[in-house]
Every structure is written in C-alpha cells, then in structure tokens.
Amino acid sequence: MRLPRIFNKHQRAPFKSIWLFILIALVGWISCSLTYFIYTVPGTANTYLYRFHLMRHSLYNSMKHASVDAYQRIVRNSAMNDNYERPVSTKPPSITTTTTFLPPGFTFLPNQTCPEKFPEMTGPFYVNMTEIPMSDLYANYSDIIKVGGKWRPKDCVPKYKVAFLIPFRNRHQHLPILLRHLLPMLLKQRLDFTLFLVEQSGAYPFNRAMLFNVGFQEAMKRDNFDCFVFHDVDHIPENDRTYYGCSGMPKHYATQLDIHLYHLEYEKFFGGVSGCTTEQFKKVNGFTNQFWGWGGEDDDFYTRIKQGGYNVSRPPDEYGRYQSIKKNHGQEAQFLGRFSLLKHSADRNFVDGLNSLHYKTPIITQTRFYTNITVDLRPVKDLASPTDHS
Ligand code: UDP
Ligand code: MN
C-alpha cells in the first residue's frame, strides 16, 4: 500500500526557500551591523582590526619559525648545520641607563639654556585612569601654574616656548586625567608652556585638523611660540622622558599605543600626539581644513611633512608609550570623503591649509589650567561674512 505523501515536490520547494531566506537575511543583517559598527565607532573598529592583524601576523611568524626549526632538525639532523637566520628583534636596545640623563644634584645657572634631560625625569610612571573633577588638581598646581595654563621655569632659560593644542568637544571626563599626568611632567622638563583647549562648537562634524589651524593662529596672536604640540585629550603619556620640546624635524610622540599593543600602527602614522616648530608648521601650510569627521587628517599631515622636505622624528619606543582613555570615549562617524581627498593630498596642500583658513571669531576664555578657544567651525561656503575671521 502506498503511504500518503505529506509534501509533494511543489510543496517542499517553499519550505526549502524559507531556510534560504533566513540564511540570506542573517548574512545581510550581520554585514549591515558590521558596516554600521565600523562607520559609527571607527576608532574601536580600528583597534579590533589592528589586533586581529597582529595576532594573524604573530601566528604566521611562529608557525613559520616552528616549521623551519622542525625542518632543520629532521632533514639535516644536525645542530651543526643550523645556519637558519632566526629573526632578531627590530626594536632598538632598551634605554634604561641614566648615563645620558643628568645626575641627581646637577646644578645649572639661571642664564643657561635648560637641558633636555633632567635628573627628575626618571622614566615610566603609574598611569591613573580614575575620573576626577578638575578641582582635585587645584591643591597641587594652583600656586604654580598661571591662569590660562601658563608656566615658565626660573632656574634656567627654557629651550622652547611651547603651545599645546588640545582638540576638544564633549570629552570633559578626559581632560583632568590628561592634566594630572601632563602637568608634573612638563614642570620637570622646564619648558615654557601654555595649554590651549581648542573646542569646537556648532553642529558640524568634528574637524580635528582645522582646530589645530585655528589654535595655531590664535596662539600666535597671544605669544611668540616657537613650538607646537598637537595633543589628543585621551592620550596619556607613560614616561616622563618623553620630551615635549621640538626638534629639527616634525615629531611624532605617541608611537606606541596600548590600544595597538605598543606597536607603531603603520609607518606613516602621525596621529595622537605630534608636534613641530612654528617654522615647520608654516612651511607645510598647517593642516588641511577639509576633513569633517573621523580619520585621515593625520595621514594628510604626514604627506605635507614629506612634501616640505622633512622626515618624521620619533623617540625611542620606550618614550613613545601612551595609554588611551577608553571610558566615555564617544566617537565621530567616519569621514568617508577622506579616501578621495587623500589621493590628492600632494596637490591640495598648497591651497588647503593655513592659507585658506577662514573661521568665525572664536570665544577665548582663561580658565585655571588652560586657555579655552571655542570656535564654531564651518566650511567656507557656510560662513556668515560679517563674523569671518582669518
Ligand atoms: N575629539 C573630541 N571630541 C570628539 C571627537 C574627537 O574631543 O567628539 C578630540 C579628542 O582630543 C580626541 C581626538 O579628537 O582625543 C581624536 O578623536 P578620537 O579620540 O575620536 O579618535 P580615535 O581615538 O578614535 O582615533
Ligand atoms: Mn581617542
């Protein structure tokens, strides 16, 4: 007797296609979520991608070396024949000697230029990421740092007059953490310094590079700075020997980030904390003004530096170590236009930068530990002409 069929050929097809549909929907949903994640939190996505890349790289290397070792042991069967060149560390020798730093008790005269390597600069220090109100810093620094965030040494002639430009929008928890580590370090280094918080107001996407241009122009109106440091608010130095003065070449300070497992992310990386002399900054026409949102402006600046005939100067790895604040790290969406702009960095540099900078008159206030420059950034086409400023 023939059993009755529950599904015939035609009835089974839709059943199959439901599973196919679910599979396609699932793959679609995962890829959409991934794209959304990469677009909205690009910094975090970047960190994960970079970690994945490093893991893959180290796995590949260890497999390669293990298999070469095994090959030599088995096939040649003799340690004498082992002439395989094992990889040597590419890191420069660790700098732990204090010989290049001045010995404790070293004396110098008030009319002498301050050295770069003071005995008090002892190296790595503990990084404390606990959030605190700014007022917690008053007891230690209010009598030392002048209102507006200024200080200069009296026991020697400072080598550089440095303006720190900190790009800023809505990262209030981060600022006291940075100052808690930066201030004691700068006092030890005997630099003449002023801290500027360059804060973006208005509704446009964050423009880190343009904030630096505005900060540069406004700082130069107030004092004759000869050195500029472009310092992300969430990058905390780990070593007080990271000297914040300038040099003959533009400097990249934050080369070894904890979020990149203390590796230089890529050879042309110039983000996080960098700096240059006033002369170098003018020669490369400052930063671009055209990068609205996350990413690319530091790569563009690297191209400018190269085009200006400079090389990037980097400290020994040990001094380039920074920790990044992860908590309350809101993020800008990616600036997707950066890819096409970066293709033409070399041509654009002459027409986009300090020489094309226009901005509304900023509001400048002096607070206890910094000078605040608040500016409503807009693309030139959206500027209301009566308040234009350049
Ligand atoms: N920044 C800010 N508010 C923002 C975006 C950026 O203050 O909404 C400043 C801040 O100094 C920060 C820097 O710009 O450290 C770089 O931006 P972000 O931290 O978002 O970049 P990422 O660390 O993800 O590369
Ligand atoms: Mn950050």
**Given this model, what pLDDT does residue 95 score?**
44
Q: Which of 169, 292, 326 most suits a substitution to test ligand 1, by most atoms within 8 Å of the C-beta?
A: 169
Q: Is the CB of 265 under 6 A from ligand 1?
A: no
Do the Cβ atoms of 214 and 362 come closer than 8 Å?
yes
Q: Average pLDDT for residues 26-51, to the nearest whole number? A: 82
Do the Cβ atoms of 132 and 144 come closer than 8 Å?
no
Q: Average pLDDT for residues 116-143, to the nearest whole number? A: 95
Q: Which atom of ligand 1 is nearest to the CA of 166?
A: 11
Gap between the Cα atoms of 137 and 66, Å rounded: 53
Q: Is the CB of 206 under 6 A from ligand 1?
A: yes
Which residue in 140, 154, 322 sits closest to 244, CA to CA? 322
Gap between the Cα atoms of 120 and 117, Å rounded: 8
Return the minimum-mean-pLDDT range out of 15-24, 240-249, 329-338, 365-374.
15-24
Does pLDDT of 373 surpass 70? yes
- 55 pLDDT band, cuts 50/70/90, is confident
Q: Is the CB of 174 under 6 A from ligand 1?
A: no
Beta bridge partners of 251: 275, 313
Q: What is the pTM of this model?
A: 0.83
Q: Which of 49, 298, 332 most suits a substitution to test ligand 1, by most atoms within 8 Å of the C-beta?
A: 332
Q: Is the CB of 234 under 6 A from ligand 1?
A: yes
Which residue in 142, 281, 167, 150 sits closest to 223, CA to CA? 150
Q: What are the extents of the domains in the chain?
A: 13-63, 134-328+338-389
- 97 pLDDT band, cuts 50/70/90, is very low
Does pLDDT of 82 surpass 60? no
Instruction: Report phi then psi at 38, rounded to 5.
Output: -65, -35
Name the residues around ion ligand 2, CB cutoff 5 A: 234
CATH number listed for the domain at residues 134-328+338-389: 3.90.550.10
Q: Percent of the chain at pLDDT above 90? A: 67
Tell me the per-residue pLDDT of 273-307, one tens digit each, with 9 for 90 and over.
999 999 999 999 999 999 999 999 999 999 999 99
Q: Which atom of ligand 1 is nearest to the CA of 199?
A: 7
**Cα-based distances in Å from 325 to 136, 259, 302:** 19, 10, 24
Q: For 267, left (φ over 0), alpha (ψ -120 to 50), or beta?
A: alpha
